Homo-oligomer: A and B are copies of this chain.
Amino acid sequence: MNSVKNLPEKTIERLSQYRRVLLDCLRQGKYNIYSHELASLLHINPVQVRRDIMLIGHNGTLRKGYDVKRLSDMIGTIIDSKEGQKVAVVGVGNLGRAIMTYFQGKRTKLVIAAAFDTDPAKVNRVIAGIRCYAASEMEEVIRKEGITIGVITVPPDKAAESAEKLVMAGIRGILNYTPVALNVEPHAYLEEYDMVTSLEKVAFFVKNRS
C-alpha cells in the first residue's frame, strides 16, 4: 500500500517547508511556481520537489508549474488534521515564552491552547495570549481541552517528570527541547532537538571546510 500514511519522514518535513514558502508566495501575489523555484528557495534538488509532490498525488501544469494555492491546500490535507490539534507548552521560561510568542496566529490547525509552570509568578497569568496553569493541573486541563501535543521547555532535571505527566494525561506527541533523552514510547511520538548539537555540527563543518 502506498497511501499518504506511508510518506517518508523527510518528505513530511519538506512538505511543511514547501507550505511555508507557498504561503509566502501567496502573500506576495505569486500564484504559480516551478519545481526548480521551490527547490532553490529551500536549497534542495528540483527532482526531489517533484517527487515529493508526486507522492502526495498532486498535479502541476506543464509549463506553468504548480498552482500555489492548490498545492498549499493539498499539503494541508496531508499534514493537518481536519479538526486541528491543540498544543501545550510545559515550562514558561526563556525558551517557552519565545515559542509561545512566536506561534501566536501562525497556524490555524495547530494552536497552543495552554502553558504550564510551577512558578507562582507565572501561574494563572496570560502570557502571549496563552493561559498559564499550575503544573499540577496538567492532567485535568489537557483532558478537558483535548490537547494532543506537548512541548517541553522545563529545566533539564524536570524534563523526565514533565514527560511522564504528559503521558499520564494522555498526550500523543512530544517535542522535547531539553538536552535530556526522554522515554515515552510507545505512549507518544517523540521528537527531540538540541541546539548545542546543531551548533557543534556547524562548528565541525566550518572547521573541515576546504
Contact = CB atoms under 8 A, between A and B. Distances in A.
B206 A16 contact: no
Q: How large is the interface on A (under 10, 10 to 19, 20 to 34, 35 or more residues)?
A: 35 or more
A168 interface: no
Contacts of A42: 181
Contact of A173 (B12, B97, B173, B205): B205
Interface in A167-207: 172-175, 179, 181, 183, 185, 188-191, 193-207
Nearest to A44: B181
A85 interface: yes
A12 B197 CA distance: 9
A153 to B, nearest CB: 9
A33 interface: no
A107 interface: yes
Given A98-B98, A181-B43, A200-B16, A193 B194 contact: no
Interface in A65-80: 78-80
B94 A41 contact: no
Contact of A97 (B21, B94, B183, B208): B94
